[in-house]
Amino acid sequence: MDIFAQVTNWGRGVELSITDGEYSASPFTMEKIDPAVILKPSCTLTIPQAQKLIDNLWDCGLRPSEGSGSAGSLKATQNHLADMQRLVFDGK
């Protein structure tokens, strides 16, 4: 199974397509649920499939939110480095 992500609606959304090469998944249907019922997953991905989806979303321009993960950690490191450079070179 492959999941493809593509920017749509002039950058206002991301379109997902799910296929196994022979079949394509239909659009999801939202159903009213009882709040006491345990939710069933809408779909389950293997780790390689999930990684491919993340890579596709990255190609669409989406990045992890700041705070956790490599992108958030990198931003914090860049900010710290900029602060240290200002202290050492500018004395401020």
Residue 43: both structure tokens together: 């779909």
Identity at 73, one-letter amino acid code: S
Nearest to 58 by CA among 70, 68, 42: 70
In angstroms, the CA 2 to CA 24 distance is 10
Give the pLDDT of the chain (92 residues) as one tens digit per residue: 888 899 988 888 999 999 989 999 998 888 899 999 998 888 888 999 999 999 999 899 888 776 555 666 777 788 888 888 888 888 65
